[in-house]
Amino acid sequence: MNSTVRHGGEGEGVQGVAILGSTGSIGASTLQVLELHPERFRVTALTAHRNVQVLYRQCKRWKPRHAVLADPDRAEELARQLRLELPEVEVLGGVEALRQVAAAPESDCVIAAIVGAAGLEPTLAAAHAGKRLLLANKEALVMAGELFMRAVVEGGGELLPVDSEHNALFQCLPGKSAHAGTWGVRRLLLTASGGPFRDWSAARLAEVTPEQACRHPNWSMGPKISVDSATMMNKGLEVIEACHLFAVAPERVQVVVHPQSIVHSLVEYLDGSMLAQLSRPDMRTPIAHALAWPRRMDAGVDFLELARAGPLEFEDPDEERFPCLRLARAALERGATAPAVLNAANEEAVAAFLDGRLRFPDIFRVIEAVLEVQPIAPADTLEQVREADRQARASAARHIQERMECKN
């Protein structure tokens, strides 16, 4: 593939924006940025999984053409609430409705912010439809990277990364292509905060509670991504994502722990130069960058004062205490459906931890066990990816149950 991340044009007039996952942290941050620029953007669709009340309030404020809940029963509940107040808002339910609004002609730009594997199909629909796609759902690339990048090229749209680390890499790559194989790039360096347990011993990690794991020192995020950050699986998924986004071999993507979360990623060049993107740890910055590209606009974020930022530290990740990073690299090397299996097992294990059914170190053990027993198949079609996801979840459920029985 000759091109991966594609730069958008200047554009004219008001852009229609669909937000897939509007009630989550990325969706809420996106709406805060849009609030600052009513002359440039209009909201055409808002979607959520089950959160009726937040979506109801968002619909009253933004009056989108479509509101979608993945849960059809919740969609009917929202429809009853909006029927008299906002009859112009069409309420839909189910996965097919998510795909429909992702590809709808009134949306110029689609924010892909649904958490986890649930975001794959609507994000693919937006890619096939040739949308300007702002990608915050890393799982779409983890599960089906080659399929997804092919859909972007064939659909003729634009892909802009919103994850802070990948957006930082995008900003630091030169020229009119974000292809890391060009322009003398040696390495891509993804920064990681190290999460809330960076200095904890292995013994202490065995006693971690869900509340502690969700208390990130720098970022305000949802529970799933907060736990992924605590295990460093989030960084492993980002390594896989970077390889697809920037068409670079796995050995050329490195992770460096940077506790202050001021430097969001770096690009190293063959001449020894390094370019870094710095800003406050606030997702509104990469969101505003992607929305406005190739221009810049106000994100509503305080400016970074370097003299008061304090020292900036960097260290290598500890893959002995945080082995999920190693698991992700192993799945990336195996390729085919291995990353989809990794992602599915991780989602199930994290959900079990948040429910109190697994201990924190068992997240890694469940994922490792699933990867050991799950057959790895080609990932040439969406059906193959779906089947790998289904089988891995069933396998993870069995391993979780076994660990619960041993504990009892």
Task: Classify residue 109: in a domain, yes or no.
Answer: yes
CA distances for 25 relative to 43, 136, 267, 301, angstroms: 17, 11, 27, 15
Which tokens sit at 207? 């006693």
Establish if 132 belongs to a structural domain.
yes
Q: CA of 406: how far to CAs of 138, 145, 210, 357, 399, in Å?
A: 34, 37, 20, 12, 11
pLDDT computed for residue 30 by the predictor: 98
pLDDT at residue 221, rounded to an integer: 77
Residues 310 and 182 occupy one common structural domain: yes
* One domain for residues 171 and 158: no
Between the alpha carbon of residue 20 and those of residues 61, 200, 244, 404, the distances in Å are 17, 36, 22, 35
Are both 369 and 243 inside the same structural domain?
no
Per-residue confidence (pLDDT) for residue 71, from 0 to 100? 93
In a domain, 10, yes or no: no
Asked whether residue 32 falls in the same domain as residue 156, the answer is yes
User: Is 58 found in the same domain as 153?
Assistant: yes
**Residue 10: its pLDDT value, please?**
42
The reply to whether 155 and 177 lie within a common domain is: no
Domain that holds residue 149: 15-162
Whether 38 and 113 share a structural domain: yes
Q: Are 6 and 158 in contact (CB under 8 A)?
A: yes
The pLDDT assigned to 181 comes to 57
Query: Which pLDDT score is estimated for 2?
Result: 34
For residue 9, the model assigns a pLDDT of 41
Greatest alpha-carbon span in the chain? 64
Determine contact, residues 25/33, Cβ cutoff 8 Å: no
In a domain, 287, yes or no: no
Domains contained in the chain, number: 3
Tokens of 128: 């096939």
d(CA 111, CA 379): 25
CATH number of the domain residue 153 falls in: 3.40.50.720
Host H or E run for residue 283: none
323 closest CA partner among 251, 246, 232: 232
Q: Which residue positions in the chain have pLDDT lower than 70?
A: 1-12, 175-182, 219-220, 408
Sheet containing 41-48: order of strands: 90-93, 66-69, 41-48, 15-20, 109-112, 132-135, 158-161
Q: What is the pTM of this model?
A: 0.92
Are 180 and 309 in the same domain?
yes
Please, how many CA atoms are within 13 Å of residue 67, restricted to the half-sphere of its CB?
32
Q: Which residues touch 105 (CB under 8 Å, ≥6 apart)?
A: none
Pairing of strands 185-192, 263-269: antiparallel
Task: State residue 12's pLDDT score.
Answer: 59
21 and 151 belong to one structural domain: yes
CA 37 from centre of chain: 24
**139 shares its domain with 257:** no
The reported pLDDT for the residue numbered 408 is: 61
Helix (H) or strand (E) holding 265: strand 263-269
246, 127: one domain: no
* Residue 121 and residue 246 in one domain: no
* H helix or E strand, kind and range, residue 268: strand 263-269
Tell me the Ramachandran region of residue 210: left when phi exceeds 0, alpha when psi lies from -120 to 50, beta otherwise: alpha
The answer to whether residues 124 and 281 touch, using CB atoms and an 8 Å cutoff, is no
CA 329 to chain centre: 17
